[in-house]
Structure 1
Amino acid sequence: MARITAGVGSSHVPLLGVAADTGKDADSYFGPIFEGYEWTRAWEREEKPDVVILVYNDHASAFDMKIIPTFAIGCGERYMPADEGWGPRAVPPVLGHPDLAWHIAQSLILDEFDMTIINEMEVDHGLTVPLTMMFGKPEAWPAKVIPLAVNVVTYPPPSGNRCWALGEAIARAVASFPEDLNVQIWGTGGMSHQLQSPRAGLINREWDNRFIDSLIGEGQEARQISHIEYLRETGTEGIEMVMWLVMRGALGARTRALHRHYHVPCSNTAIGHLVLLPDNGEQPGTDDDRALATT
């Protein structure tokens, strides 16, 4: 059967895509950011996931004020990079996995999650930047991708608890799919940042790192963080971190961290990155004896 083998959390700052596309990813400003992902890129080459369920938010590329789905799942075969005002990124098309996506959609809806099903859409930096950070610059993305969009742009966004529960339901859906697939789930967005008003440029290092800490092990306190705490402590755009909770919820009761990276600044925000494994309590053997790498 299919199985979720790992979870990845990452910021999806659009400037990272610009840096990668213009060859600035090794300069003095961007180099330390991209270096924090080198471990993950090497790890992904070894892991070879068949499918990535990529939890992200659309930035008025596929959705606008005419339609605001709280949760939307892409069930199509192909997604092209969106033009966000300066032309589409010159990255490969994103290939979907319709069979698994439709299975997950059906399972989630029967599990009482009201999903919006999308068969055609363009995908913006919220989805393509994480692919670049984890896979580099290949001629074709090495994994199929199931986009899962969460509304964190227009009030009201879903609660952290609902996002965590969605992750749990996704795990049940994947486990019931009969094909043998290595599936990863990525939660993207964040960390603390605010793009407007007198608090523009807000970065809360201490809160960001406590949030990352809370996703490791068996604690579930992160699912109870209120909207007002995200707003107060992490700025108006810090609510994107609820998408990391979809990833964490899909990994089961306990997790083990393999890698984490936190860097300030990138544009007017911080970069956060985390690689987690489900931890069933067994002692790791020779084939899985991987220590935490931290930058």
Structure 2
Amino acid sequence: MARITAGIATSHVPAIGAAIDLGKTEEDYWKPVFAGYEWVKEWVKDNTPDVVILAYNDHASSLMLDIVPTFAIGCAEEFRPADEGWGPRPVPTVIGHPELAAHLAEQLVIDEFDMTILNEMDVDHGLTVPLSLVFGQPEEWPCKVIPLAVNVTQFPTPSGNRCFQLGEAIRDAVKSFPQDLNVQVWGTGGMSHQLQGPRAGLINPEFDNNFLDKLINDPDDLRTITRLEYLRESGSEGIELIMWLLMRGALGYGVEELHRFYHVPASNTAVGHVVYETKEAASARAKAAAKA
């Protein structure tokens, strides 16, 4: 059967994608940002999944403001990089996994999540920047990806608790898929930042680091953070962190933190990044090491 082995969370700052695409990663401003991802780029070489279920938010690239689904799952065979106003990013087309995506959609609806099914969609920096940070600049992405779009751009947005519950339902759905697949769940966006208004440029390291501490040790407490608290403490865009809770819910309890990175700033945004391993995967790895 399919199994979730790991979770990754990371910011998806568009300027990070531009720095990669324009060859600026070694510049003084950007070098500390990309240094925080060297660990995961090495780790993923030996831990490449078959499929990534990637929770992100569309930035009015494909899901315009006239149609705003709360949760939408990409079921297409492929997803092209979106043109966000300056041309598509020069990255590979994202290859989907329609069979697993359809299974997830069916099981999630059975579990009373009203999913929107997307059979055609371009994907913007919210999805492609995390892939670039983890996999670098390959000619093809080394795994298939199921986009899971979460509305954090227009109220009403889902709560962090609902996203955590969706992650739990995804975990159950993956377990019931009969094909032998190594699946990772990624949560993207954040951390604290505000891009407009009188508080433009707001960054709250205390909130961010408390979130990182509790994400691994006390995720249930994070489930109670309200939309108003996100707005007040982490800025108007800080609510993207609810997608990290989706990832966390999909891993179950007792996970192991393999890597953590936090940096301020990257284009007026606090950058955060974690890598978690499920207890089942950690146990299997320990047994394999003992046999070796």
Query: TM-score of the superposition, structure 1-length normalised?
Result: 0.95
| Aligned ranges 1:179-218 → 2 under 5 Å | 179-217=179-217
Cα distance between partner residues in 2 of 1:287 and 1:189: 34
* Residue of structure 1 equivalent to 2:116: 116
Distance 1:288 1:240, change over 3 A: farther
Say if 2:280 is the partner of 1:285: no
User: Is the 8 Å Cα contact of residues 108 and 169 (structure 1) preserved in structure 2?
Assistant: yes
* Residue of structure 2 equivalent to 1:51: 51
Say if 2:78 is the partner of 1:78: yes
* Residue of structure 2 equivalent to 1:255: 255
User: Is the 8 Å Cα contact of residues 254 and 278 (structure 1) preserved in structure 2?
Assistant: yes
The residue type paired with residue 63 of structure 1 is L
Which secondary structure state, in structure 1, belongs to the residue aligned with residue 264 of structure 2? strand
Q: CA RMSD in A?
A: 1.5
Q: Residue 218 of structure 1: CA displacement?
A: 5.1
Q: Residue 27 of structure 1: CA displacement?
A: 1.3
Q: Residue 254 of structure 1: CA displacement?
A: 2.2
Map Cα deviations across residues 72-120 of structure 1 (whole Å, 9 max, x no partner): 0000001000000100001000000000000000000011000000010
Q: Residue 217 of structure 1: CA displacement?
A: 3.1
Cα distance between partner residues in 2 of 1:51 and 1:232: 36
The residue type paired with residue 275 of structure 2 is V
Distance 1:67 1:283, change over 3 A: closer
Which secondary structure state, in structure 2, belongs to the residue aligned with residue 146 of structure 1? strand
Say if 2:250 is the partner of 1:246: no
User: Is the 8 Å Cα contact of residues 2 and 182 (structure 1) preserved in structure 2?
Assistant: yes
Distance 1:288 1:26, change over 3 A: farther
Map Cα deviations across residues 197-227 of structure 1 (whole Å, 9 max, x no partner): 1100000001101101111135411111111
Query: TM-score of the superposition, structure 2-length normalised?
Result: 0.96
Cα distance between partner residues in 1 of 2:245 and 2:289: 25
Which structure has the highest helix share of the two? 2
* Residue of structure 2 equivalent to 1:228: 228
Residue range with higher mean Cα deviation, 271-280 or 102-111: 271-280
* Residue of structure 1 equivalent to 2:152: 152
| Aligned ranges 1:165-176 → 2 under 5 Å | 165-176=165-176
Cα distance between partner residues in 1 of 2:20 and 2:206: 28
User: Is the 8 Å Cα contact of residues 218 and 253 (structure 1) preserved in structure 2?
Assistant: no
Cα distance between partner residues in 1 of 2:263 and 2:95: 31
Say if 2:163 is the partner of 1:163: yes
The residue type paired with residue 106 of structure 2 is Q
* Residue of structure 2 equivalent to 1:24: 24
Cα distance between partner residues in 2 of 1:78 and 1:219: 33
User: Is the 8 Å Cα contact of residues 108 and 170 (structure 1) preserved in structure 2?
Assistant: yes
Map Cα deviations across residues 243-262 of structure 1 (whole Å, 9 max, x no partner): 00000000002221000100
Cα distance between partner residues in 1 of 2:225 and 2:48: 34
Cα distance between partner residues in 1 of 2:102 and 2:129: 25
Cα distance between partner residues in 2 of 1:166 and 1:76: 21
Which secondary structure state, in structure 1, belongs to the residue aligned with residue 265 of structure 2? strand
The residue type paired with residue 96 of structure 2 is G
Cα distance between partner residues in 2 of 1:144 and 1:55: 14
Cα distance between partner residues in 2 of 1:22 and 1:219: 37
Structure 2 unaligned blocks of 5 or more: none
User: Is the 8 Å Cα contact of residues 215 and 255 (structure 1) preserved in structure 2?
Assistant: no
Percent identity, please: 63
Cα distance between partner residues in 2 of 1:288 and 1:97: 31
Cα distance between partner residues in 1 of 2:42 and 2:284: 24
Q: Residue 282 of structure 1: CA displacement?
A: 5.7
Cα distance between partner residues in 2 of 1:265 and 1:170: 33
Say if 2:100 is the partner of 1:100: yes
